[in-house]
Structure 1
Amino acid sequence: MTPDPDPPGPGTTPGPDTPAPGAGRARGGAGVPLTKTGTPKEPAASGPPGQGAPAPRPEGGGRDGGHRTRRPWSARRIPAALVASVILVAAVAALADVIAVRAGRRSAAWRRHLTDALATRPVDDVWMLTGAAVAAALGLWLLVLALTPGLRRWLPLRSPAPRLRASLDRNGAADLLRDAAQRVPGVSTARVKVRRHRVKARADVRFRDPRQVKDDLTAVLDDERDRLALARPPRIAVRVRRTDRS
């Protein structure tokens, strides 16, 4: 037992910061630091803040950390290069012919033929209708390319920051899900196809009850899908088939 400190002498008056004898053990207890007022300090949290707490899971599909994760957009390099090349060739040919006419030469044969055909052919002519249909189809194709993101084989992942984007290939996701499905007892072979909104899994069962295997397979695929951290988790559809034992 540790003896109490010696009391102050007859000519010494205890100050406000001088604790009374035995006050440390009576108020703070063993090993608890005290403040100047004698109240015990709260222990500081060890490690970085939020280290022990699990990360919150986004409530809505495609939202993480207060922002929405969008699909990546394709650069459309090949269609843009084709359209730019066609426009460049047509513009250069027309400009060269206009310069030749201004210089006193005759216009090119293709320009005279095109002008005469547009001036003499009726609107319901087969070639006119064919050209209009081709132009409309090309215009519709360009509109679809301009208004759709493309890159359908890439699945966006959840990201903690708005400018941080990551994607997962559909074939890679299908391989991971297929490996997880083949680890289920009773499954001999498994085939998985990953779509944008749905995952189709088919498995051949050699032993065990197919209904139990289907339940276990659905649970395993659900867990593996959650581990992929997809921004919009697709639904899982499982089909099992009983195969004869060899």
Structure 2
Amino acid sequence: MAAGAALVDVVAVRAGRRAAAWRRELAAALATRPVDDRWMLTGAALAAVIGLWLLMVALTPGLRHLLPMRSPAKQRAQLDRDGAAVLLRDAALRVPGVRTARIRVRRHRILARTDVHFRDPRQVKADLAAVLDDERDRLALSHPPRIVVRVRQRIP
């Protein structure tokens, strides 16, 4: 709130108007007080603590590892990305011809990399895309990521 008021006042000064009375009084008080004044040191310490807190909040990951889910009621549900990757990997391994599957779940994309053992890679890719699409829909994510399937044939 205070930052918004200060921003409005700065814009008004840049537009050619006079600064607000509270800003003129604050500038005069800060100009006349000595640097070692108790109020100056308290304000500087408070500004430093707020700055460090804002820096910490900016550098921490937050809840980006959680995917929000659809909910019919006003409830909030989230699914861990690693858990979603395990469910999708298990579904991919049930497709005939898939030897190994590696799944990465991101916010906007699911990347599936598989090694084909004995079937035609194009058929496996089509089957795998359909299975992963169904499994993704069963996860009931509020913003379903798109699925990218990469298949390579491994000859033993």
**Which TM-score band applies after superposition, normalised by the shorter structure?**
0.5 to 0.7
- Note the aligned Cα RMSD (angstroms): 2.7
Instruction: Letter of the 1:216 partner, please give it.
Output: D
Cα-to-partner distance string for 1:63-117 (whole Å, 9 max, x where unaligned): xxxxxxxxxxxxxxxxxxxxxxxxxxxxxxxxxx95xxxxxxxxxxxx9xxxxxx
2:130 matched to 1:216? no
The equivalent position to 1:177 in structure 2, one of 88, 94, 102, is 88
**How many pairs align?**
110
Q: Which residue of 1 aligns with 2:112?
A: 201
Q: Secondary structure at the match of 2:141?
A: coil
Answer with 1 or 2: which has the greater Rg.
1
Return the structure number with greater relative CO, CA threshold 8 A, min gap 6.
2
Q: Which residue of 2 aligns with 1:232?
A: 143
Q: Which residue of 1 aligns with 2:66?
A: 154
Instruction: Letter of the 2:144 partner, please give it.
Output: P
The percent identity for this pair of structures is: 69
The structure carrying a bigger strand percent of its residues is 2
Q: How far is 1:244 from its partner?
A: 1.1
Q: Which runs of 4+ in 1 moved over 2 A?
A: 137-145
Question: Please, which runs of 5 or more residues in structure 2 have no aligned partner?
Answer: 1-36, 42-48
Question: Please, which runs of 5 or more residues in structure 1 have no aligned partner?
Answer: 1-96, 99-110, 112-134
Q: Secondary structure at the match of 1:204?
A: strand
Please report the TM-score for the alignment, with normalisation by the length of structure 1: 0.41
Q: How far is 1:152 from its partner?
A: 0.8
